[in-house]
Amino acid sequence: MLYHSFLIKYAEIGTKGRNRYVFEDALVHDIRMKLRKAEGEFSVTRERGRIYVNVKSERYDYDSVVDALRHVFGIIGICPMVQLAGTHDISVLSEQVVSYWRQVYGDRIVSFKVETRRADKGFPMQSGEIDAELGHQILSHFPNTSVDVHHPEIRLHVEIRQFINLYSEILPGAGGMPLGTNGKAMLLLSGGIDSPVAGYLIGKRGALIEATYFHAPPYTSERAKQKVIDLAKQVSKYTGPIALHVVNFTDIQIAIYDKCPHEELTILMRRYMMRIAERIARDRGCIGLITGESIGQVASQTMQSLVCTNEVCTLPVYRPVIAFDKQEIIDLSQRIGTYETSIEPYEDCCTIFVARHPVTKPIPEKMRKSEQNLLPEISEMVDKAVESAELIWCDPFR
Ligand code: ATP
Ligand code: MG
């Protein structure tokens, strides 16, 4: 393999002032964690506002490194790089640049531009002169190339430092902020398409994620629960291990079904989910809730319905897909790899106890009144649901 190191590009945002170290430390830490999964041995180094991944072993798997780095929030670009011994000799440098070009592009018809950065001022030419000379060498060795200084297809970066770095490919990274640079939030994770995407998006802002899943055995199967574990594992490839709290919701659902108006079932159920998730969230040090709700997608997600589900909790509720169309959410879920699991056909507790004509404009006072029907047992049922929640660690490495 030609490349033996990778230059990591990250956004300037959040890297100013004292925050810079917090941001970079978190990024380096996460890169190391993610690389544990890649084949080979690596070191991650930081040098004057740059992060490098260097390959230490004889052999390594390029694709698995790129895949690992693509799951790191905070990286905007991954540049596979050739690092050469330092030199002050332009003819040595030219030879190496020509050899790099041959290996990467061969005889491709392509326009290019050389961009040199001379950090080592001992090199006896100005960067503009180096650009011109290396450009000339490429043109004369590869007749299919042409120079385009404004919109080149390829920018060949030549960095003259203690070593010489050559790179010309920038693979897109996941973007966002490094993990752990923000607070922790509790994701209400169902087996659907939307909530895994919602968890991914909040994780992308640097938040740590835990998850709560409500299941209703025997109405929902073990397989439905496994599907949610699989989804949590997929999201955890980005966010790191996720503590998944599995709550038995059967008794509460049956109580609502038996004692409350059927057209209000979904909203009432969603209110209890929010309350329970918030209790677990507070116990676990989470300072926000996350749902996959999107305005108007179903009856329980009209703005009036959201008023009703929102009023039962005091933590902020993050709804990152609130303004997305379904297709946009699907596109994102395909990109992050959760879609195929989300569409497996196992019943979710929301789809089992459904009313034929659910309210679309629920009134909070009415909801509160309906909930009176559940007294006094409901508070004990909620306590029991919280206390008996099962904790499952969803680790991307297992
Ligand atoms: P999703 O695709 O995320 O399941 P949905 O379009 O099916 O969403 P609803 O079933 O109305 O929408 O649920 C809205 C949100 O409530 C979900 O995005 C999720 O955050 C939460 N939620 C719903 N059902 C459950 C569940 N069984 N366990 C945990 N959270 C749930
Ligand atoms: Mg759902």
Q: What is the mean pLDDT of residues 97-116?
A: 97
pLDDT at 1: 76
Which of 187, 195, 309, 333 maximizes ligand 1 atoms within 8 Å of its Cβ, making it the mutation to test the pocket?
A: 195
Any ligand 1 atom below 6 A from CB of 232: no
pLDDT at 396: 83
Distance CA 292, CA 383 (A): 25
pLDDT at 270: 96
- Residue owning the nearest CA to atom 6 of ligand 1: 194
For residue 216, which ligand has an atom nearest its CA?
A: 1
CA-to-CA dists, residue 324 to 128, 194, 201, 205, angstroms: 47, 10, 12, 18
Residue 40 near residue 65 (C-beta atoms within 8 A):
yes
Q: Cβ of 257: how many Cβ atoms within 10 Å?
A: 15
What domains appear along the chain, each with residue ranges and CATH number? 5-172 (3.30.2130.30), 184-394 (3.40.50.620)
**What are the pLDDT digits (tens) for 189-212?**
999 999 999 999 999 999 999 999
Q: What is the mean pLDDT of residues 115-131?
A: 94
The mean pLDDT value of the chain amounts to: 94
- Contact residues for 373 (Cβ-Cβ < 8 A; gap 6+): 259, 260
Using CA atoms of 77, 79, 85, 91 in order, give the dihedral in degrees to the nearest 10: -110
354 pLDDT band, cuts 50/70/90, is confident
Any ligand 1 atom below 6 A from CB of 213: yes
Is a pLDDT exceeding 90 seen at residue 398?
no
Any ligand 1 atom below 6 A from CB of 292: yes
**What are the pLDDT digits (tens) for 376-395?**
999 999 999 999 999 999 99
Is a pLDDT exceeding 80 seen at residue 362?
yes
- Looking at the DSSP bridge assignments, the partners of residue 188 are 212
pTM, two decimal places? 0.94
- Looking at the DSSP bridge assignments, the partners of residue 77 are 9, 172
350 pLDDT band, cuts 50/70/90, is low
CA of 269 to the centre of ligand 2 (A): 12
Q: What is the mean pLDDT of residues 393-398?
A: 86
**What are the pLDDT digits (tens) for 257-282?**
999 999 999 999 999 999 999 999 99
CA of 353 to the centre of ligand 2 (A): 12
Residue 177 near residue 74 (C-beta atoms within 8 A):
yes
14 pLDDT band, cuts 50/70/90, is low
CA of 116 to the centre of ligand 2 (A): 52
Which of 194, 280, 302 maximizes ligand 1 atoms within 8 Å of its Cβ, making it the mutation to test the pocket?
A: 194
